[in-house]
Structure 1
Amino acid sequence: MTTTVDPNYWSLLGVSPECDSNELKSAFRKEARKWHPDLNKNDVNAEERFKLINEAYAILSDPKKRREWEKKIYKEKDIFENRFPSYEEYLDVVLGIKTNIENEDDIESQFVDLTEDEYKNFDESEIDFNQNIPATSEPSPPPTLIYEDQESIVEITPEQALYGSSVDIQLQDGTLVEVLTPPFAGDGWRLRIEGAAIGCRDHFVQLKVQTDDGLRVDGLRVMYRLELFPHDALLGCAVDIPTLNGNVTLQVPPNSSTGRLLRLRGRGLEYEDYRGDQIVEIIIVLPDSLSDSEIALYQRLNEISLEKY
């Protein structure tokens, strides 16, 4: 959940901005079931989508938060988006010259021809050509400052993530604020301090819940990325895996592909009578360097694969 671009919450839940609270709640439940990580063990994007769905419902179900969000995404449309401007619109909008002339007859009415006698007696010396010219031009307005949201990364322990904790955050202007992290928080979660950054922008706090062994905590679950060489993933292997309670041996099944998820039951965090699992994600990587003979074997393997088709 680190993306800085605001997602379209209506599209995420599959509803229109005119839907009522019952339709919104029904859509949320439907999408939450569809993208729950426990029901999409082989989809690495399910966890991120599930968090976005929860975020969408939290914003759209709160009238105040919804209004704040809609102000950000709904921008005034350009009046010339689908057509070419008229001459009066060009003067008014583009050049900033106000005009009340509605048609050509009005334009002609602004000018009166001089008679021949009036033209002969016309004395240019009577006209002060400088009377409407200011001595100095008005100062240009100061440049508009564009402010951005701010973000801090805060590291907390698995225990702090499980039960909730209090952390101090230093804002851009040096102010220290206390932020309470929610219980059952996870690595990568983002908390928003509304209007705390300069320019009334938001300050986001990203939680980092990781161990030195590379374990990532998310609620009661523990996530781990296991990197394997292609031959180990193809043939299967036994690998020592770190857990919160020490190493265990994991038997990787043959024909394992990148993105495959393996479950270590009961190796997650414990809360009262509940115990989470540890999820191991398979990631296939190549060795840093390959010998000529190894490359030749890969080429031969590729030729054999093509011969099958």
Structure 2
Amino acid sequence: MTPTAETDYWALLGLPPDSDSEALKRAFRREARRWHPDLNGNDIRAEERFKLVNEAYAVLSDPRRRQAWESRQQGGAGEPGADPFASGFPSFEHYLAVVLGMAEPEPMDRPEPDVAAHADWPAAAPPPPPPPVQAAESLETDVWLSPDQALHGTAVELELADGTLVEVQTPSRAGDGWRLRLAGVTPGGGDHFLHLRVQTDEGLRIDGLRVLYRLELLPPDAALGCAVEVPTLRGPVTLQVPPGSSSGRLLRLRGRGLELEGQRGDQLVEIVVVIPSSLTEAERALYRRLQELALEE
């Protein structure tokens, strides 16, 4: 996604302009958790908002990109229609300044050549055009962590495109879906993102001290209620699903999350009502009867 001058990244993160880096990190984590698509299955805006939140953090936490964005916000892109190369190509430094939107460097003092004294010299060949600017490309790598590694933080070794090995320390209380940014390390100066994945074989997802689980139910079980066994980090438990539970409803298992420094999180169970892909004729007849009853009301 390409940042636009019309997007107010500070307002998007709920921060006043020029907030410090710690406030920026806290706001990013809060909004990323709030709009994560896996936690907003019924909200079609969640994925787009989640992308904008990540975009806002990537721009505001990078001094170079933030300066360029603030310049665009203040209308600093130059007069419309102005051609910076109307009189020919400037020096390569000036060329980069125009293409990248940076402040132009001061021109170097160059003495004018004494044409009269060297009239017999052959005309100098025109300077070659500046080399193309390599577009910055962002990369992303999935990094799988255990719940304990996500809770306490761990060292992750990553090999960059040029063969360089870097070690990244993940933060404590990390969650599934978090993205860590290595700024300017890809060819062309792009960023490399580490996409943290913290999930168990049973389908439990870790988010700080919380544990998240999606429980799929058939329509009769969701409508009438049922007792169902769900996994937790400390073994399965029986959960009583209330009657009339729709998709998106969250049920809480208190104290079934992770524990750190005397704090223990909960496990949230999200109800997902599913329709079988194939129905028997008797089942179809029952659904038709339910449809008729709904129309009669």
Who is 2:65 aligned against? Answer: 68
Identity among equivalent pairs (%)? 53
State the Cα distance separating 1:271 from its structure 2 match. 1.7
Equivalent position SS for 1:226: strand
Deviation track 1:219-266 (CA, whole Å, cap 9, x = no partner) reads: 111110111111111111111100111111101001011111000111
2:234 to 223, 245, 257: 245
Distance 1:234 1:72 in 2: 51
Q: Given the alignment of the two structures, is residue 232 of structure 1 paired with residue 221 of structure 2, yes or no? A: yes
Q: Deviations over 1:126-172 (max 9, x none)?
A: xxxxxxxx9x9997766553231111110011111111100101112
For structure 2, the 5+ residue unaligned runs are 89-122
Alignment equivalent of 1:174, drawn from 160, 163, 166: 163
Where 1:282 maps in the other structure, the secondary structure is: strand
- Structure having the higher Rg: 1
8 A Cα contact 1:36 1:47, kept in partner: no
Q: Equivalents in 2 of 1:5, 1:279: separation in Å?
A: 35
Give the match for residue 185 of structure 1.
174
Structure 1 residue identity aligned to 2:162:
D
Paired residue type of 1:261: L
Post-superposition CA distance 1:151-210 (Å, at most 9, x none): 111001111111110010111222211000011111111111111111111111111111
> How far does residue 11 in structure 1 lie from its aligned partner after superposition?
2.6
- Which residue identity lines up with residue 191 of structure 2 in the other structure? D
1:300 paired with 2:285, answer no
SS at match of 1:280: strand
The question of whether the paired residues in 2 share the 8 Å contact of 1:186 and 1:218 is answered with yes
Which amino acid in structure 2 is aligned with residue 11 of structure 1?
A: A
CA distance in 2, matches of 1:177, 1:35: 26
Instruction: Say if 2:151 is the partner of 1:162.
Output: yes
Q: 1:192 to 1:270 in 2, by over 3 A?
A: same
Q: Which sections of structure 1, spanning at least 5 residues, go unmatched?
A: 99-133
Secondary structure at 1:201 match in 2: coil
Is contact 1:35–1:47 with CA below 8 Å preserved after alignment? no
Alignment pair present for 1:270 and 2:259? yes
Matched to 1:204, the amino acid is: F
Instruction: Give the conservation status (yes or no) of the 8 Å contact 2:245–2:271.
Output: yes
Q: Decide whether the 8 Å contact of 1:265 with 1:277 is kept in 2.
A: yes
- Which residue, 255, 260, 267 being the options, matches 2:249? 260
Amino acid at match of 1:227: E
How much does 1:53 deviate?
Answer: 7.1
Change (3 A) 1:55 1:248: farther
Q: How many angstroms apart in 2 are the aligned matches of 1:59 and 1:152?
A: 20
- Corresponding residue for residue 11 of structure 2: 11
Quick one: distance in 2 between partners of 1:47 and 1:271? 30
| Structure-2 residue corresponding to 1:202 | 191
Tell me the TM-score normalized by structure 1.
0.65
CA 1:74/1:212 → structure 2, altered by over 3 Å: closer, same or farther? farther
Question: Would you say 1:151 and 2:140 are equivalent positions?
Answer: yes
What is the CA distance between 1:292 and its match in structure 2?
A: 2.4
Specify whether residues 160 and 296 from structure 1 end up closer, same or farther in structure 2 by C-alpha distance, changes over 3 A only: same
Q: What's 1:113 paired with?
A: none
SS of structure 2 residue aligned to 1:281: strand
Tell whether the 8 Å contact from 1:235 to 1:254 is kept in structure 2 after alignment.
yes
Q: Where in structure 2 are the equivalents of 1:214-229 lying within 5 Å?
A: 214-229=203-218
* Equivalence for 2:105: none
CA distance in 1, matches of 2:65, 2:204: 36
